Amino acid sequence: MNAQYTQFKKRITSPVAFLWFLFTQLPSAFFAGLRIAALDDAKAAISVTMKWFNKNPFHSIYFAILAMAAEVSTGLAGFGAIYKRSPAVSMLVTGTEGKFYKKAIGTILFTCRNIAAVHAAVEETVSTGNPVTIVCHSVGTNSEGIVVAEFWFTWSFKAKNK
């Protein structure tokens, strides 16, 4: 695991720091209302609450906002794994798939539990110099714990200057 991961977790889980990160790096996520709910060695969780800005004509959260929250939940693991790495590692989404099961109203929590696998993929690209891809799964549940959507994001990691 990245030696700087603990520092990354401490910084990004500060509500102000996370909002600043969104505002400067993902402004659409900032305006959509994404919030960090958890980040530890086992999972990353992002919440989004339905509001005027992110709703659709069917009185639920717009599907793209759900995808955004799910992507950020999977991307946090990658950001932590590449944080202050030497050599630097780039990351990029190369594929996505989503399934929707129930109307997304209220607050939806997207949870990704692929943290260890993401760190292993980054370690592999650093040690071999070869690009590595991994599929991360994020499950979105409502306040009752009912699954409303699932997403799979394929992330590619590549060590630079190797």
Q: In this predicted structure, what is the pLDDT of residue 79?
A: 93
Indicate the pLDDT class of residue 5, thresholds 50, 70 and 90. confident
Express each pLDDT in 68-114 by its tens digit.
999 999 999 999 999 999 899 999 999 999 999 999 999 999 999 99
| pLDDT above 60: residue 122 | yes
Q: What is the largest CA-CA distance in the chain?
A: 50
Express each pLDDT in 35-46 by its tens digit.
999 999 899 999
Q: In this predicted structure, what is the pLDDT of residue 1?
A: 73
**Burial class of residue 110, CB neighbours in 10 A (0-12, 13-18, 19+):** buried
Express each pLDDT in 129-159 by its tens digit.
999 999 999 999 999 999 999 999 999 999 9
The structure's pTM equals 0.94
What is the spatial distance between Cα 34 and Cα 29, in angstroms, rounded to a whole number? 6
For residue 37, the surrounding DSSP H or E stretch is strand 35-39
Domains delineated in the chain: 5-159 (3.10.129.10)
Q: In this predicted structure, what is the pLDDT of residue 162?
A: 53
Percent of the chain with pLDDT over 90: 93
For residue 67, the surrounding DSSP H or E stretch is helix 63-82
Exposure string for 117-156, b = 16+ CB within 10 A, e = fewer: ebbebbbbbbeeeebbebebbbbbbbeeeeebbbbebebb
Indicate the pLDDT class of residue 63, thresholds 50, 70 and 90. very high
Q: Are 141 and 79 in contact (CB under 8 A)?
A: no
Q: In this predicted structure, what is the pLDDT of residue 4?
A: 87
The pair of three-digit structure tokens given for residue 30, joined into one six-digit string = 């900032």
What is the spatial distance between Cα 45 and Cα 38, in angstroms, rounded to a whole number? 5
